[in-house]
Amino acid sequence: MSEDSLHSRTRSNSPARRRHRVDSASRSRSRSRSRSTSGSRSRSRSHARSQSPTQSRSRSGSRSSSSFHDARSKQPSPSPLARAARPDFRPRLVLSGHQKPISQVRISPNGRWIASASADGTIRIWDAVTGQHMDTLIGHMAGVSAVAWAPDSETLATGSDDKAIRLWDRVTGRPKRAKPLLGHHNYVYCLAFSPKGNIIASGSYDEAVFLWDVRAGRLMRSLPAHSDPVSGIDFCCDGTLVVSCSTDGLTRIWDTATGQCLRTLVHEDNPPVTSVCFSPNGRFVLAHSMDSCIRLWNYVSGTVKKTYQGHVNKGFSIGGCFGTIDGEAFIASSSEDGSIVLWDVKSKQVIQRIDRGHDGVCFWVDVNGDTLVSAGQDCKIRVYQHRRPETLLNGAEEGEEEEGQLHGEKHVNGVKQNGTGENTIGDETPIPGENGDTEMQDVVLDEAGVKLEQS
């Protein structure tokens, strides 16, 4: 499809293009976007399609493609490399404490902490190595849908159905500002820090993307981004571009400095897009859609390079990310059947499936180095560790369990909420061989989405 046709395309209003609300207990603040009619406005993350008349989608991506090449010019020249290593994630911890479904879970950039956001209105911080419950952040007046770590791993941003964005100090567990960031007219769904940590991008049910000055605590720019709720947002690796997605079926690339829409990506079937992220090198965009497909877009050419299938995504907003094992890239995603699915970037083959990871929907997956975390409708966080061959050589045979573990999982129930890292309940034995200091390596992909070595 040419860009001219993208700019002029009028959206069909056929019933097939509409998303109906999801009935059941999943209306309680899960990651479905359907809304409960109760006063608690518990967050459900399935996206009901707008029932408005046919709307013409204006495409403002008129800027020349040279802008994209400028953003990519800093990338080193890649050279060919051998086939990717296979991830082998094994269960290590089960973290309990939230009282309602967990909307999102994130590992800090330094790999030491886990932050979870829940429909119960709280954010919990956990030690990624021991599973200790470090603190509970309380301040939002409704369920929390989004959490993001600053690059220094010391500050968190959270977004809630109370329409507010709050910044938190990880050490003290207190807000960094007396007043939250206010401006959105509806629920805040997604957040992202810029690579320098000086800007926060937020997306909301009010269909807008906001860019915030972190230090000044003020709104820098409001982008009338979409015609349905904004469901995902991310910065590219150098911070010059922002990507947003929506249940209107559009994924858009924005110039951070000017707020100009540089490109609009839309698949011919136009399924609702529920989450989005840049590849670690900023050259591609990975988008989850409600047709059970994950698409890898070349946003310069506006074409889909790869499509990944094998998970279930029909009625909820679920998320995933890129991961690396020894520098080799893979894609990890949650699934509505409770499983976690991993794909090889190049071959599109499923290289690992973790069945029955959660009871009910698995809403979110995040990866940092050898650690994978997931969260879901069952109010639990599960931590997985990549099993390396040297682990077996050192005497830890497959299936061997440590004391206090059940089927390879250590169950930790966080109770103490004083920020000291103390637990009144829970096994505090560290995970052998993991110090929590690993960081994700940058990945370079060629135009076909194949992992390449950096020269």
Q: Which tops the pLDDT comparison, 356 or 265?
A: 265
Residue 269: exposure state from Cβ atoms within 10 A (0-12, 13-18, ≥19) = exposed
User: Average pLDDT of 395-405?
Assistant: 36
Tell me: pLDDT of 405 over 90: no
Tokens of 250: 């559009």
Asked if residues 126 and 111 have their Cβ atoms less than 8 Å apart, the reply is no
DSSP state of 425: S
Characterize the bridge pairing of strands 133-138 and 144-149. Answer: unpaired
Q: Is 277 helix (H, G, I), strand (E, B) or coil?
A: strand
pLDDT at residue 86, as a whole number: 86
Q: Which positions ≥6 away from 329 have C-beta within 8 Å?
A: 84, 280, 322, 323, 345, 443, 445, 451
Tell me: pLDDT of 169 over 60: yes
Tokens of 53: 């008349």
pLDDT digits (tens, 9 = 90+) for 337-389: 999 999 999 999 999 999 988 999 999 999 999 999 999 999 999 999 999 87
**CA–CA distance, 254 with 367 (Å, rounded to integer):** 26
pLDDT at residue 385, as a whole number: 96
Label residue 32 by pLDDT band (50, 70, 90): very low
Tell me: pLDDT of 65 over 50: no
**CA–CA distance, 117 with 173 (Å, rounded to integer):** 14
Label residue 411 by pLDDT band (50, 70, 90): low
**CA–CA distance, 145 with 161 (Å, rounded to integer):** 7
Provide φ and ψ at 3, rounded to 5°. Answer: -65, -30
Provide φ and ψ at 66, rounded to 5°. Answer: -60, -30
pLDDT at residue 234, as a whole number: 98
Q: How far is CA 329 from CA 43, 354, 447, in A?
A: 32, 18, 15
Share above pLDDT 70 across residues of the chain, in percent, rounded to a whole number: 67
pLDDT at residue 413, as a whole number: 63
Q: Is 224 helix (H, G, I), strand (E, B) or coil?
A: coil
pLDDT at residue 389, as a whole number: 75
Mean of the per-residue pLDDT values for the chain?
Answer: 77
Half-sphere exposure of 267 (CA within 13 A, CB side): 25
Cα-Cα-Cα-Cα torsion 199, 201, 202, 207, nearest 10 degrees, comes to: 140
**CA–CA distance, 37 with 55 (Å, rounded to integer):** 27
**CA–CA distance, 221 with 115 (Å, rounded to integer):** 27
User: Average pLDDT of 276-292?
Assistant: 96
User: Average pLDDT of 133-152?
Assistant: 98
DSSP state of 4: H
Asked if residues 28 and 38 have their Cβ atoms less than 8 Å apart, the reply is no
Q: Is 80 helix (H, G, I), strand (E, B) or coil?
A: coil
Please tell me the least confidently modeled range out of 64-68, 97-101, 357-361, 375-379: 64-68
pLDDT at residue 98, as a whole number: 98
Asked if residues 422 and 318 have their Cβ atoms less than 8 Å apart, the reply is no
Radius of gyration of the chain (CA): 21
Spell out the alpha helix ranges (H) of 310-353. Answer: none
Label residue 80 by pLDDT band (50, 70, 90): very low
Report which of 212, 136, 209 is spatially closest to residue 174, judged by C-alpha positions: 136
Please tell me the least confidently modeled range out of 61-65, 146-150, 272-276, 305-309: 61-65
User: Average pLDDT of 85-91?
Assistant: 89
pLDDT at residue 12, as a whole number: 35
Label residue 431 by pLDDT band (50, 70, 90): very low
Please tell me the least confidently modeled range out of 13-27, 219-233, 253-267, 364-378: 13-27
Please tell me the least confidently modeled range out of 155-169, 190-204, 416-430: 416-430
Tell me: pLDDT of 444 over 80: no
Q: Which tops the pLDDT comparison, 18 or 309?
A: 309
DSSP state of 66: H
Which residues on neighbouring strands pair with residue 243, listed in sequence order? 234, 253
Label residue 336 by pLDDT band (50, 70, 90): very high
Domains recognised in the chain with CATH numbers:
66-454 (2.130.10.10)
**CA–CA distance, 41 with 279 (Å, rounded to integer):** 33
Share above pLDDT 90 across residues of the chain, in percent, rounded to a whole number: 64
Residue/partner pairs of 221-225 with CB below 8 Å, 24 or more apart: 221/259, 222/183, 223/254, 223/259, 223/261, 225/252, 225/254, 225/261
